[in-house]
Structure 1
Amino acid sequence: MSLDYQIFDLGDVQLQRGATLRDCKLAYKTFGTLSPKKDNVIVYPTWYSGQHYDNEWLIGEGMALDPSKYFIIIPNMLGNGLSSSPSNNPEPYNGPKFPLVTACDNVRAQHKLVTEKFGIEHIRLVTGWSMGALQTFHWGALYPDMMDLIAPFCGSAKCSRHNYVFLEGVKAALTADAAWKEGWYTDKPQRGLRAAARVYAGWGFSQTFYRQKLDLERMGYSSLEDFLVGFWEGFFLPKDPNNLLTMLWTWQNGDISDNELYNGDFQAALAAIKAKAYVMPGQTDLYFPVDDSEFEVANMPNASLIPVPSVWGHFAGGPGTNPDDVKFLDDKLKELLAS
C-alpha cells in the first residue's frame, strides 16, 4: 500500500522537557504547488488525535484553501501515530516511555520542515482547529516575522485551568481500565477508550445541540445511545491510548509563553504576534469559551474576534461535521486571505 504522505527526518531533537527524541520523524502531506517565489504557503497543523486526512475537509478547488492557488502543508503532530509517537517509536522511548512533547516542540519541528525541506522563508497563512489552533498561536508567537496571517479556530493560545480539568477526566477514564497495565497493554484497553469517549461526548457538542437532538435530526443517529456508541466510541476505539495520552499532555501544557523567548509572560507572547489574526472561537464551545479568546485578542496588536455562530459546540470547527459551519469558516478564511 502506498502512503499518501511523506516523512521528514529531523534527526535527534532535544525536547523542551529534557529528553531527546532520537531519529525524530515528522509525517506531512502537501497539496498544490509551491510558487517560484515561494510566496503561496499555508501551514495547517493537525488536532488532538487527528491525522492529516482529518484536515482535508477544509481544502478544495474554489475554497479558501485552494490547492490550485496555494501550497498547503499539513504537518502531523508528534504523538498522532504517523509522526514519531508512542505507538511507532523504537525502544527505549516506546509506549508509555515516549518523552513529553510540548506544542513548542511541535512547531519548532514544523518550522524545520518548512525552512529546511522546502526552503520557505515566508508563510501566507497558518490556520488550525482545536490543538491545531494552539499550534497556530505558537507559530505566531515563536516566528512573528514569518507569516502574514493566522486564523486559529475553536482553540486557545494557552490551556485554561478548566480545560486542564476536563482533560484529567479523559485521562482518568483511559487509565482506569485493568487492561491498561500502566501503558504496557498487550490487548487494547477498549473499556478505557469507550469510557474516555463518553467523557468527551458531554463536552464536544453544546447543551443546545443535544436539546435540539441534532445527533438524530442532522447526523442520522437513531437514539442518544446510538450516537454515544456509533459516533463517540467509534471515534475513540481505533486510536492508541498511549498516543492519546501523549497528545493530551501536549494539550494540557500548551502555552505560547512557556519558552525562553517569553519566560511565562503570556501577555508579552500575545503582544508579540504581528500577523493579522482572525481568532474564531465557537459561540457554544465548552472547551474554549469566547471569553478566553476575548482576552487573547485584547492583547494581540492585529487581531479580530470572530465567534462562529453555531450550536455545534467545539465541533463547529471540525472535522467538517456541519456544512453551515464549514461555509462560515471558509468564507472568513477567504476574507482574511484577500486582505
Structure 2
Amino acid sequence: MPDAYDSTGIEYYNIPSFTFISGVTKPIKVAYHSFNPSSKKTALIPTCYAGRINETLNFTSGALKDYHVIVVAMLGNGESSAPSNDPDFPADYSLRYQDCINSQYQLVTDHLGIKSLDAVIGFSMGGQQAYYWAVMHGFGPEPFVKNVIPICGSAKTSGHNYAFLEGPISALTTSHDYHGGKYKEYGAPATQGMRAFGSAYCAWLTSPEWFRQELWKEMSAKTLVDWIHPPAGESGFEIWDAEDILTMGRMWQAGDVGTIAGNEGDYKKALGNITARVMVMPSKTDQYFVVEDGEAETKYLKNGRFSPIPTIWGHIGGGGANPVDTKWMDEEISQFLKEGL
C-alpha cells in the first residue's frame, strides 16, 4: 500500500498573477518545505517526476546539514498548482520548465527574500530543472546560483528518452477508464490507466543487472510479477491524477535548455554560457538519462565536473532507493560544495 500523503512542514506561496511562457496569466500556488531557515548558506531542491516534497532526497542530514534547504514542488505535481487542484490550469500540456523556474525564482526572491542560492540540486526532472536554473540564473561574473548538481537528468531530453516516455503515456491514454481524458466526468480516477502506466514504466526504472539479481525483492515485491503488476491498491502510480502525470510527462519530453531565450535553440550554446559550477551526476546504468549524455554535456560547461554514480540501481539509484548510492552521492556533493567555498 502506498504511504499516505505527508503534509508535514509544507507551506504555500500564492502568486496572484503569473504569466506562463504560453501567454496564459492566472493565479498559482507554489508548495515548498523550508529546512534550517536560520542557516546562511542556501540550497534549492525541486521535486522529480511522480515525487512529493516530503519524499524528496534532501541531504539535510549530510551534505546540506549546514544549509537552509528549500524543497519545492514543480508546477503540475499536485502540490503546487496542477490540473488536479486547479480547474483553470493550462490543459494543453503547454507547461514548460521555464514556468517552474520562474515560479521558484519568485518564491525564493520575493517571498523568502533570498539574494542568491549557493546550490540547486535535483534528481530526474528535478535534475532537468537544475540545468534550467543554471542557464537562466547561473551566468555572468556573479551568478545568482553558484553551484548546480543535476542528478540523473539532462540539459536536453534525448530522442530515446522521449520515445521511452511515449510507451507508458500511451498505456494511460488508451485505457478504458481514462475515457479519452474525460475520466473526471465519470466521477472516478483513471486507476486502470495509471496501473498500466506503472507496468509500462517499471522495466525502465532500474537496469538489466538489477533484474538479474532480483532486487525487486528489496522494493517489497515478492515476485517479478508483483513488481510489474502490484496487487490492487499497491501501485505507486495509482495515487496520482492522470492529468498531472501527463502534464509533467509532456514537459519532460519538451526539456531543452536551448529553448531558453537567447540561445537560438542550441543547448550546447546554453551550457557554454553557464558560469556557475556544475557537477553532472548521472547513474552509470540509467536507461533513459543515459550516462553518455551526461558525459557529453559536461564537455560544453566552463566549470563542469562529471561524476557518474557507480550503481546497478539504474535511474532510481540517484533518487535514494539504495542506501549505498545515497551515501556515495552525499559524500560527492559535500566535497564538491566544499571545494567551491
If the length of structure 1 is used for normalisation, what is the TM-score?
Answer: 0.92
- Map of 1:299 onto structure 2: 300
Alignment partners' CA distance in 2, 1:23 and 1:80? 16
Structure 2 distance, partners of 1:287, 1:136, is: 17
Q: How large is the RMSD of aligned CA atoms in angstroms?
A: 1.8
Q: 2:120 aligns with which of 120, 123, 126?
A: 126
- 1:26 maps to 30
The structure 2 residue matched to 1:70, chosen from 67, 72, 77, is 67
Deviations 1:84-111 (A, max 9, x none): 1001103xx25x8366210111011101
Query: What secondary structure sits across from 2:235 in the alignment?
Result: helix
Question: Could you say if the C-alpha distance between residues 248 and 233 of structure 1 is closer, same or farther in structure 2, counting changes exceeding 3 Å?
Answer: farther
Give 3-state SS (helix, strand or coil) of 1:281's partner: coil
Checking the alignment, whether the CA contact within 8 Å between 2:45 and 2:72 is kept in structure 1 is: yes
Return the offset for 1:229. 3.1
Quick one: structure 1 residues 9 and 58, their matched pair in 2 at CA, closer, same or farther if it must change by over 3 Å?
A: closer
1:329 maps to amino acid: M
Amino acid at match of 1:133: G
Which residue does the alignment assign to 1:184? 182
Aligned residues: 326
Q: Structure 1 stretches (4+) deviating beyond 6 angstroms? A: none
- Tell me the distance in 1 between the aligned counterparts of 2:72 and 2:219: 29
Measure, in 1, the Cα distance between the counterparts of 2:7 and 2:323: 31
Q: Does 1:168 align with 2:166?
A: yes
Q: Name which of 106, 113, 122 aligns with 2:107.
A: 113
1:158 lines up with 2:156 in the alignment: yes
Paired residue type of 1:64:
A
Equivalent residues of 2:174, 2:180 under 8 A apart: no
Provide the secondary structure at the position in 2 that maps to 1:44: strand
The alignment's TM-score, normalised by the length of structure 2, stands at 0.91
Q: Is the 8 A contact 1:85 1:98 kept in 2?
A: no
**Are 1:337 and 2:317 matched, yes or no?**
no
Question: Which of 70, 73, 95 is the matching residue for 1:101?
Answer: 95
- Contact 2:93–2:250 (CA under 8 A) maintained in structure 1: no
Whole-Å separation in 1 of the counterparts to 2:296 and 2:331: 24
For residues 45 and 175 of structure 2, the distance between their equivalents in structure 1, rounded to whole angstroms, comes to 34
Change in Cα spacing, 1:73 to 1:98, as seen in structure 2 (3 Å) is farther
- Rate the CA distance shift 1:322–1:108 in 2: closer, same or farther, 3 A: same
Q: 2:131 aligns with which of 137, 155, 160?
A: 137
Q: Which amino acid aligns with 1:325?
A: D
Query: What is the alpha-carbon distance in structure 2 between the residues aligned to residue 190 and residue 143 of structure 1?
Result: 39
> Is the counterpart of residue 268 in structure 1 residue 269 in structure 2?
yes
Structure 2 segments unaligned to the other structure (5+ residues) = 1-5
Matches of 2:242 and 2:326 in 1, distance apart? 29
Return closer, same or farther for 1:273/1:201 CA change in 2, 3 Å cut-off: same
Q: Unpaired runs of 5+ in structure 1?
A: none
Percent of aligned positions that are identical: 35
- Does the 8 Å CA contact 2:45/2:58 hold for their aligned counterparts? no
Q: Which residue of 2 aligns with 1:204?
A: 205
1:10 aligns with 2:19: no
Q: Which range moved further: 98-107 or 170-179? A: 98-107
User: For residues 263 and 299 of structure 1, do their structure 2 counterparts lie closer, same or farther at Cα, with a shift above 3 Å needed?
Assistant: same
The one-character-per-residue Cα deviations of 1:161-184 (angstroms, maximum 9, x if unpaired) are 111111111210111112212322
CA distance in 2 between partners of 1:252 and 1:220 (Å) = 30
Moved more, 236-245 or 263-272: 263-272
